[in-house]
Amino acid sequence: MTDIESSKLFHSITETERERILKCSKSRMKNYAAGTYIFEQGGLPSRLFLLLEGQVQICKDFTSGKRDVLYLVEAGNVFGEIFLFGDRKHYWYDAVAVTDVSVMEMPWDFFYHFCSNACDHHKQLTQNMLEILSENNFNITRKLHIVSTSSLRERLAIWLIDSMDANCVVELHMNREQLADFLGVARPSLSRELMRMQKDGLIKVDRRKIKICDKDAVEMLSPGAQSSEL
């Protein structure tokens, strides 16, 4: 379980200040069972969510039964934040507990109303939230870059290069079904393409990780790399 103080939301905020924030904001802790909707499309946004334990899937379901996974939330990160500022009146997507989860829920009003003292910790919290919004906006832009490509191999190449560590290894935090939803393809198509890339010597697929065996070749699959060669 992630401690609240280790989250980006409470960066540079002391324990005493944090306790004051939680009390003043009337934040609450809630648990949700795996498979439970924390909020649903069409619901009325009113709270910011900080995931303390477990994993949450941010997704959009369609009447056809198809599910588009926008991204996964890991412990220590916030979600529901894009509705915090602006005039969106309803949730556009769902937040579903992938595992049993523990969540801190903070009412939005706290971000809009400073007390007469304009406390430094309140300003720090707002600054942290703006930094989180910026980072999450980058992640959404990255997702759009991935799914805008024409082929599944190109999508996989971009995702692998962006996700790999210094040893060219991608740790899998999603199962095969979740990764397929994230890339916007059917699971059988994803499995076949991974096996083709492995057969071609580009990658080696393990149960919970993918090793990039030929980094240069995988990078060249990126549409940007291809166009630069023209």
Domains in the chain, CATH or no CATH each: 4-146 (2.60.120.10), 150-228 (1.10.10.10)
Is residue 84 scored above 80 in pLDDT?
no
pLDDT at res. 115: 61
128: which residues sit within 8 A by CB, 6+ positions away? 8, 9, 10, 11, 12, 13
Arithmetic mean of pLDDT, 12-29: 92
Is residue 14 scored above 80 in pLDDT?
yes
pLDDT at res. 2: 67
- pLDDT, tens digit, 9 for 90 and up, residues 112-165: 776 655 578 888 998 899 898 888 888 778 788 888 887 999 999 999 998 999
Give the start-end residues of each E strand in 3-46.
28-32, 37-39
Mode of pairing for the β-strands spanning 47-53 and 78-79: antiparallel
Most confident of 79-88, 119-128, 130-139, 181-190: 181-190
Is residue 107 scored above 60 in pLDDT?
yes
pLDDT at res. 101: 97
Alpha-carbon span 120 to 113, nearest angstrom: 13
Arithmetic mean of pLDDT, 88-103: 92
Which residue type occupies 35?
A: G
Distance of alpha carbon 6 from the chain centroid: 18
Biggest CA pair distance of the chain: 65
Is pTM beyond 0.75 here? no
